[in-house]
């Protein structure tokens, strides 16, 4: 997972900005906010775009912290809030998504291509 600040992905509307991280194994991004086109590209490639509910949680993360999403599949299906576990600090905090029901299906399938295959 990558952690980003405000307007994460700005300046890179190319699909490769989401495709390369996907092939490196990234399945979620957590940011203060997203550039609109990059947000959509993340969804298209099966990367869950999450946003901080509380900005203080962003400030509390340190480089090297290990973040986990232990119940992400269930959380995505149940509503707009996802629990993030900081394993390094042994803390939890909420993140949110603004995915539609269809977009949740897409990211859970692993992206548009995998969704079309199924």
Domains along the chain with CATH numbers:
2-117 (3.20.19.10)
CA distance 39 to 87: 26
CA distance 56 to 47: 24
Enumerate residue ranges in the chain where pLDDT < 50: none
Reported pTM:
0.93
pLDDT at 12: 63
CA distance 63 to 43: 25
Q: What's phi and psi for 20, nearest 5 deg?
A: -60, -50
Residue 81 has which token pair? 């809030």
**4-38: per-residue pLDDT in tens?**
999 999 986 688 889 999 999 999 999 999 999 99
Question: Are the beta carbons of 54 and 94 closer than 8 angstroms?
Answer: yes
């Amino acid at each position: 997972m990558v952690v980003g600040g405000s307007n994460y992905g700005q300046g890179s509307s190319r699909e490769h900005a989401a495709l390369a991280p996907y092939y490196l194994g990234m399945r979620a991004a957590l940011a203060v906010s997203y550039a609109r086109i990059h947000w959509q590209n993340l969804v298209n490639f099966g990367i869950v775009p999450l946003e901080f509910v509380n900005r203080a949680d962003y400030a509390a993360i340190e480089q090297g912290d290990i973040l986990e999403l232990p119940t992400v599949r269930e959380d995505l299906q149940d509503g707009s809030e996802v629990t993030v576990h900081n394993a390094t600090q042994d803390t939890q905090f909420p993140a949110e998504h603004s995915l539609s029901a269809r977009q949740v299906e897409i990211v859970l399938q692993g992206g548009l291509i995998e969704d079309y295959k199924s």
